[in-house]
Amino acid sequence: MDGMLSQDEINALLSGMDLSGDTASEPASTSDSDVLTDIEKDAIGEVANISMGTSATTLYSLVNRKVNITTPVVTTETWEGVVANYQKPCVFIEIQYTDGLSGSNILVLQEQDVKIITDLMMGGDGTNIDGELNDLHLSAISEAMNQMMGSAATSLSSMLNQTIDISPPMARHIDLEEHMSAGDIAPFLEKTFVKIAFKMTIGDLVDSSIMQLYPLDFARSLYETFMGQQMGNSPSPTPEPQPFVPPQVEIPMQQPQMSNPQMGMPQMGMPQMGMPQMGMPQMGMPQMGMQQNINIQPAQFQSFNNDFSGIPGRENIGLIMDVPLEVTVELGRTSKSISDILDFAPGTIIELDKIAGEPIDVLVNGKFVAKGEVVVIEESFGVRVTEIIK
């Protein structure tokens, strides 16, 4: 032998080598794009952003401090990466979806942040954070997360147009250095999962990071539901219930018109029609003498003027001249169903019942008193009264 390998020997060696471990391990652990596309990350981040924005408002009402949660960053992660990069120990809060969505997610908070939040919830100033984390802290943060994630589920319900509900969250104090295995925390943490990282500040007490952990299949189903709703929402704004607005405006105008024929009906033919008088007792009684004895005259009232000296009881009208009245200028009105109002978002256009150029209404303490047109006085809007409603 000359020491050279034949082609058959080379092929045999190559077929016997296990190259799958080198080629498959890298995408599973390091490449995010092979697990979630950029479009999927953006959609999941948008859903998480709206949910955590609503949660921040709820947390503000609980701690009475300004709460700010930044735009999320969506990546894929492994348990080893969480253990290596997140502060230890920490609190894992598991939220299970019971209606609308199938799955769960885990919210991870730093231990010191939990102590500050619970101290604020119990009326403290957020500085009483000495001592170890105990069951009282876990119970308080579970209640806070129950309200926060409940409001987030409400936002998701309106966003995805379906009912979404959660079970009461469960909080656990986890030392990542001791729990190196993810199976005893949540089964989905043993595989690649989705990590959504936020920056959270509470006044000048908290400035740290929090994260949500989603199972990969749950994140994809959330993306599909979100995109399906977005695609289905495109034709929905057009059939707005605008035809219902004119009847609401016209009905009050028709009532006085209908009353005049009713007043004339007893003279025209009520006896001939045989209409029972028990249905209209007040109108049937004056029918007997209306043609002969009733003398109708307009009521006479004393005219008002600026000189109240000659009118008894008018000399004290100046006592109420300084009473403030609320003047409201109404551009227009419309009516919407609750589902339409829940769909409001920045950029939504609401069509009113006023035509462009039509006079606007001026109300005093809710009473319609005048019509006018919009003018600009230096840098402010104003209204020029064009008609007084008598």
Lowest-pLDDT range of 11-25, 124-138, 306-320, 335-349: 11-25
What's residue 184's pLDDT? 76
- Type of residue at 76: T
- Residue 277's alpha-carbon distances to 238, 265, 273, 281, in angstroms, are 50, 12, 11, 6
For residue 69, the cross-strand partners are: 200
Helices (H), the chain: 7-16, 20-29, 38-63, 79-85, 111-121, 135-160, 216-233, 245-268, 270-273, 281-284, 338-342
What's residue 388's pLDDT? 92
Q: What is the mean pLDDT of the chain?
A: 75
β-strands 67-69, 170-174 pairing: unpaired
- Residue ranges, comma separated, of all CATH 2.30.330.10 domains in the chain are 325-343+350-390
What's residue 319's pLDDT? 79
What's residue 314's pLDDT? 58
Nearest to 66 by CA among 57, 74, 75: 57
Segment 262-281 mean pLDDT: 45
Segment 268-282 mean pLDDT: 45
Residue 337 clears pLDDT 70, i.e. is over it = yes
Q: Using an 8 Å Cβ cutoff, are 214 and 194 in contact? A: yes
Residue 226 clears pLDDT 50, i.e. is over it = yes
pLDDT interval class at 322 (50, 70, 90): confident
pLDDT interval class at 253 (50, 70, 90): very low
pLDDT in tens, 367-376: 999 999 888 8
Residue 311 clears pLDDT 60, i.e. is over it = no
φ, ψ (nearest 5 deg) of residue 222: -65, -40
What's residue 103's pLDDT? 83
- Residue ranges, comma separated, of all CATH 3.40.1550.10 domains in the chain are 28-233
φ, ψ (nearest 5 deg) of residue 194: -100, 130
The fourth-level CATH superfamily of domain 325-343+350-390 is SpoA-like (2.30.330.10)
Q: What is the DSSP letter of 201?
A: E
What token pair was written down for 200? 């959270």
What's residue 156's pLDDT? 83
What's residue 98's pLDDT? 86
What's residue 89's pLDDT? 83
Say which residues have a Cβ less than 8 Å from residue 311's Cβ, sequence separation at least 6: 302
What's residue 362's pLDDT? 92
Segment 331-343 mean pLDDT: 89
CATH of domain 28-233: 3.40.1550.10
pLDDT in tens, 159-188: 888 888 888 888 888 887 676 577 778 888
What's residue 201's pLDDT? 92
CA-derived radius of gyration, the chain: 36
What's residue 71's pLDDT? 85
b/e burial code for range 254-270 (CB count within 10 A of at least 16 → b): eeeeeeeeeeeebeeeb
What's residue 313's pLDDT? 56
Q: Using an 8 Å Cβ cutoff, are 383 and 375 in contact? A: yes
Residue 77 clears pLDDT 70, i.e. is over it = yes
Residue 136 clears pLDDT 60, i.e. is over it = yes
What's residue 385's pLDDT? 92
Q: Using an 8 Å Cβ cutoff, are 356 and 317 in contact? A: no
Nearest to 141 by CA among 63, 34, 258: 63
pLDDT interval class at 22 (50, 70, 90): very low
pLDDT interval class at 19 (50, 70, 90): very low
Q: Using an 8 Å Cβ cutoff, are 327 and 363 in contact? A: yes
Of 293 and 127, the structure prediction assigns the larger pLDDT to 127
Segment 11-25 mean pLDDT: 47
